[in-house]
């Protein structure tokens, strides 16, 4: 899988995550979410996803950080914080967030994959390849539940060039 395909997979994971939680349409501030929380951490996480989808990465990271403050073991918040940092080009911080998600859920193949992308962007190809290998070992593509598209052959219905996105939610 080339770098462009991996970047597109990261973007697709973030979008699918947001779409799967049904959080489109509401533009609430962090304070509005905190004032009416059935589950504050989940509300903040959902708000962070909506903000990230709108490319408001700074605000999304704030929401994820607040969710993490309330629930330090919130794997998805760590993971999507890493995605938002990755989209900003903050690769070192993204790696830290992915590492925490991996510490909490060592079988989170998406985090291994996205960590590999961040490492590659930092020129750490050996470490990146190790991370990609771990994602593949966890069957990142084989266990997907949603196929985005094929990149090298748009007419193919199923090919090794298809990018698989595993939907991650609560």
Question: Tokens for 81?
Answer: 């914080």
pTM (2 decimals)?
0.65
pLDDT at 164 over 50: no
What b/e readout covers 72-94, taking b as 16+ CB neighbours within 10 angstroms?
A: eebbbbbbbbbbbbbbeebbebb
Output the CA angle 85-87-89, nearest 5 degrees: 70
Q: Report the relative pairing of strands 146-150 and 162-165 from DSSP bridges.
A: antiparallel
Counting Cβ atoms within 10 Å, is residue 126 exposed (0-12), middle (13-18) or buried (19+)?
exposed
**In this predicted model, which residue has the larger pLDDT, 8 or 95?**
95
Both tokens of residue 78? 């760590």
Domain ranges of the chain: 3-165
Residue with tokens 């007419």: 155
Q: Give 120-153 pLDDT, tens digit per residue.
A: 999 999 999 999 999 989 877 633 322 222 222 2
Residue among 72, 51, 69, 71 at smallest CA distance from 61: 51
The pLDDT, as a whole number, for residue 141 is 60
Architecture of domain 3-165: Alpha Horseshoe (1.25)
């Amino acid at each position: 899988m080339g770098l462009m395909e991996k970047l597109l997979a990261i973007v697709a994971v973030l979008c699918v995550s947001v779409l799967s939680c049904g959080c489109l349409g509401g533009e609430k501030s962090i304070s509005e979410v905190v004032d009416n929380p059935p589950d504050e951490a989940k509300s903040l996480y959902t708000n962070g996803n909506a903000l990230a989808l709108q490319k408001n990465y700074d605000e999304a990271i704030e929401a994820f950080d607040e969710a993490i403050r309330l629930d330090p073991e919130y794997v998805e918040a760590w993971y999507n914080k890493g995605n938002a940092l990755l989209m900003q080009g903050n690769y070192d911080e993204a790696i830290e967030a992915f590492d925490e998600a991996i510490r909490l859920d060592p079988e989170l193949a998406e985090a291994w994959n996205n960590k590999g992308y961040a490492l590659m962007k930092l020129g750490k190809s050996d470490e990146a390849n190790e991370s990609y290998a771990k994602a593949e070992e966890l069957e990142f593509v084989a266990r997907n539940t949603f196929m985005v598209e094929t990149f090298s052959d748009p007419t193919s219905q199923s090919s090794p060039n298809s990018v698989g996105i595993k939907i991650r939610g609560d």
